[in-house]
Amino acid sequence: MTLLAALHKAHNCDPWTDRALHAFVLDDVQIGFVQPRVLDAIRQFLRETLSDVLVIKEDGAHDVVTLAHGTSRAQRTAAMSALVAWMRARRIFPDPLDGWRDEPYAVYARAHGSASRSHVAFTLERAACALFGFATFGVHLTAYTPDGRIWVSKRSRTKQTWPSYYDNSVAGGIIAGDAPMASMIRECYEEAGLTEEQVTPYIKQTGCISYFHKTDAGWYQPEMQFTYDLALPSTEIVLAPVDGEAESFELLDKDAVLERVETLEFKPNCALVVADFFARHGMLTFENEEHYTAILECIHTPLRLPTP
């Protein structure tokens, strides 16, 4: 499979062009995408619970889900939490809700027409974000050695998502209240046993990638990953499993990494991080990759949703 085709396993949809989706809107700014099956569930929830925070505005074929104007972050969080708990109790959407993690994610909004930085509208369980097409944010690290080899991890065979697939050196989702760099440094220890002293002198934030992923079950996941490089000073610093998320780590040369991407052995969004790393380091070039500009465009898909 070509590299571009492999990357399209991660960025595989455009919810903005799916006419069947309804909008989740806050202060006149769209923050998510609601499928008809979810809208139906919200309608039933509202009939049963009489919530006055969560609101459906009927708008012909394209209804809008919103949260009542003037509500606080705590009120919005409580309303969304009640909705998701109700869905979970009724087992309406076992995929994705059976993947419950007890990790609150921040959902962002911003004032309409404003160029100002967005704010956290509310928090929501990680596993529930896909139900509403809310953007989620993560951190991905590529650790490499002076001889140009790259550390990759193999995901635990017992992980709910993408078991036994290759992953970047270290990666994780950003929990509400966390800043990307702090989150990245903590994950380095929890997943790979790299201490803050081993990481801090060599880690560099390098940008972010963004894309839309549609899961096999049809859920839309707008995602943005903050990327980091860790230029290890020697091969003596070794990544090793700590919390069991990663089963093992391997130090592979560039060609071996690329081959595993093209044979789809990498978790799809991790392949995007690999491509970005290769492009930034001059290993993927206009001259050696016929889909060069298409690949870069795929890595940098604008979400058109509020981001941190």
Residues that bind its own copies (CB under 8 A): 4, 115, 117, 179-181, 203-208, 224, 226, 229, 279-282, 285-287, 290-291, 293-294, 296-297, 300-302, 307-308
Under DSSP, is residue 17 helix (H, G, I), strand (E, B) or coil?
helix
Q: What is the DSSP letter of 29?
A: E
Work out how close the CB of 244 gets to its own copies at its nearest, in angstroms, rounded to a whole number.
28
The DSSP code for 99 is T
Minimum distance of its own copies from residue 255's CB (angstroms): 18
Minimal distance in Å, beta carbon 245 to its own copies? 23
Taking the complex as a whole, the smallest distance from the CB of residue 155 to its own copies amounts, in Å, to 26
Judged by CB, which is closer to its own copies: 252, or 283?
A: 283
Cβ atoms of residues 139 and 192 within 8 Å: no
DSSP 132-148: GT--EEEEEEEEE-TTS
Q: How far is CA 281 from CA 103, 148, 166, 233, 274, in A?
A: 34, 10, 21, 17, 11
Smaller CB separation from its own copies, 166 or 228 = 228
Nearer to its own copies, 61 or 115 (CB): 115
**Smallest distance from the beta carbon of 5 to its own copies, in angstroms?**
9
- In this complex, which beta carbon is closest to its own copies, that of residue 68 or of residue 179? 179
Gap between the Cα atoms of 43 and 38, Å rounded: 9
**Which of residues 70 and 282 has its CB atom nearest to its own copies in the complex?**
282
Indicate the residue among 19 and 204 with the shorter CB distance to its own copies: 204
Question: Please, what's the b/e burial string for 266-277 (b: 16 or more CB within 10 A of its CB; e: otherwise)?
Answer: bbbbbbbbbbbb
In the complex, minimum distance from the CB of residue 251 to its own copies, in angstroms, rounded to a whole number: 22
The label of the residue with tokens 């760099």 reads: 181
